[in-house]
Amino acid sequence: MVFMGAPADRASTDAPSLDRHASRQHDAWLVARFEIFHNPRCGKSRQTLARLTAAGITPVIVEYLVEPPSPQRLQALLRLLGFDDPRQLMRTKEPVYAALGLARVSDPQQLLAAMVANPILIERPIVIKDGKRAVLGRPPENVDGLL
C-alpha cells in the first residue's frame, strides 16, 4: 500500500507508524455513513433521529424543507427505498397535494417536480446508510434494520 507523500523506500523503523496510519485509515473506511432527511418539527422524525443517536450514530442531517433535493436525488431515494411510484414517498394528505390536483397526475416526473417545489410533500424521515440502503422511519423502529 502506497500513501501519498510517503517515500516508497521508507526505513523499516518507520513501519510501525505507517501501520498505525493504515489502521486508522482502514477503521475510517469501516464506519457507516448515515443520512436522515429530517424535519425538526415532526415527532416521528425527531424520534427516528433520537433512535439513531441512542445507537451511537451521528447522521448527516438533511433539512430537506430548507434545501429540497433535486429530482435526480428523489429518484435515487425511490430506488433505495424500493418504491416504484413517487406517490409512495409523498404526503398525500397535505393540503398542497389536493390544491395542486396531484391525485390526477400520472407522470412521475411531474410528481417529482411537485415534491421539489413543495418539499412538505416528501414523506419523512428517510434514513440512508452508505448511499446503498434506505428506510422510511415510519414507524421509527424501521431504522433498526439499518443498524
Residue 114 has pLDDT above 90, yes or no: yes
- CATH label of the domain that carries residue 121: 3.40.30.10
Residue 113 covered by a domain: yes
Rounded to the nearest 5 degrees, what angle is found at the Cα of 81, between the Cα atoms of 32 and 84?
A: 160
Residue 122 covered by a domain: yes
Residue 20 covered by a domain: no
Which residue in the list 12, 38, 42, 45 is annotated as catalytic? 42
Residues 6+ apart with CB under 8 A from 44: 124, 125, 137, 138, 139, 140
pTM of the model: 0.77
> How far apart (Å, rounded) are the C-alpha atoms in residues 140 and 143?
6
Active site residue 42: yes
Residue 129 covered by a domain: yes
Domain count, the chain: 1
Mean pLDDT of 126-138: 96
Residue 3 has pLDDT above 90, yes or no: no
Residue 21 covered by a domain: no
**Which residues span the domain enclosing 38?**
34-146
Residue 11 covered by a domain: no
More confident residue, 10 or 70: 70
Range with lowest mean pLDDT among 7-11, 83-87, 102-106, 110-114 = 7-11
Residue 41 covered by a domain: yes
Each residue's pLDDT tens digit, 7-63: 333 333 433 333 433 333 444 445 679 999 999 999 999 999 999 999 999 999 999
